[in-house]
Amino acid sequence: MNLADLNKVALAMVAPGKGILAADESSGTIKKRFDAIKVESTEDNRRDYREMLFRSQDAMSKYISGVILYDETIWQNAKDGTPLVKLIEQAGSIPGIKVDEGTQPLPGCPGELVTVGLDKLAERLKKYYERGARFAKWRAVIDIGSGGGGSGTGGRGIPTMTAIRVNAHALARYAALCQAAQIVPIVEPEVLMDGDHDIDRCYEVTQRVLNRTFQELRVQRVALEGMILKPNMAISGKKCPKQASVQEVAEKTVRLLKSCVPAAVPGIAFLSGGQSDEEATAHLDAMNKIGNLPWGLTFSYGRALQAAPQKAWSGKAENVPAGQRAFSHRARMNGLASTGKWDAGLEQQAA
């Protein structure tokens, strides 16, 4: 492992004014997105859509530091035969790859999941590196049970410490394998925002998850200088009757991260987790306006960057320029938010 090189890539991934495009939707997920815009999810259509994004020169060169790819995508070529990874590199961005293989039910813990894919990961990482990937992503999924309670408090007892420990262990094992393969790991422990919990319950669960994750990372000798953290924000569940304000989300998320994330980590790239485009941007901006942070705070958004360009494109070649304009607008908004220079008035500008 060459830690200096890993650190260089990690710092580039969270460069001021730039963030990461999560274009790693599984075939099932992108089918749902395409269904919404009435586009058939064929291999060619998926390629054409992603090629449109990667050829958005304004967005890619100015605001996108890296792109997380799905296994299908990293091996695909553009219509003119150029590998898609080369389009990303030519734009000055860094290719990355999602390496987890989804989730399975966690035995003994009804309703909870564990992420799988460690088998033969070392061999896969070698092939991805040869193809051009310089970072990877592994997502762990932690749910919060309804009722807001922990074990014995009237809630469903979810998440259990078993689920937190098993997923944290897998994240750290993945991260160690990545660094051994000279690939920067994005460590993504996502506490879902789907429930009825309030922001304080999210804070408490996320704190436990992050503390356990960093404990496992230390045990497995992962160099913190050569990784990126991709967490959820401290935020109210979607079904919670009391939604926290933008400022409360920002203040509590920053306080949470300062209590859990070592300063040695080069940067934190948030997932959007189902927030709307503008919510995800506003929350990131408010955090960066707080300032005095030991690490860079930026974005690693999927839907919050892609919903607008997908709708503008709608599978039609003549709509590619409109799709690229929409993508550039969202990328610029989040680039500004990553330096605390966004405001709601900018959203009124035409995409």
Active site residues: 188, 230
Say how many CA atoms lie within 13 Å of 110 toward its Cβ. Answer: 2
- Half-sphere exposure (CA, 13 Å, Cβ side) for 177? 22
Instruction: Fill in the DSSP letter of residue 302.
Output: S
DSSP 73-122: HHT-B-TTS-BHHHHHHHTT-EEEEE----EEEPTTSTT-EEE---TTHH
Phi–psi pair at 230, nearest 5 degrees: -125, 85
What are the φ/ψ torsions at residue 269 (nearest 5 degrees)?
A: -115, 105
Q: Considering only CA atoms, which of 91, 74, 92 is closest in space to residue 131? A: 74
Query: Which distant-in-sequence residues (6+ apart) come within 8 Å of 4 by Cβ?
Result: none
Whole-angstrom distance, CA of residue 37 vs CA of residue 216: 42
Q: Are 144 and 185 in contact (CB under 8 A)?
A: no
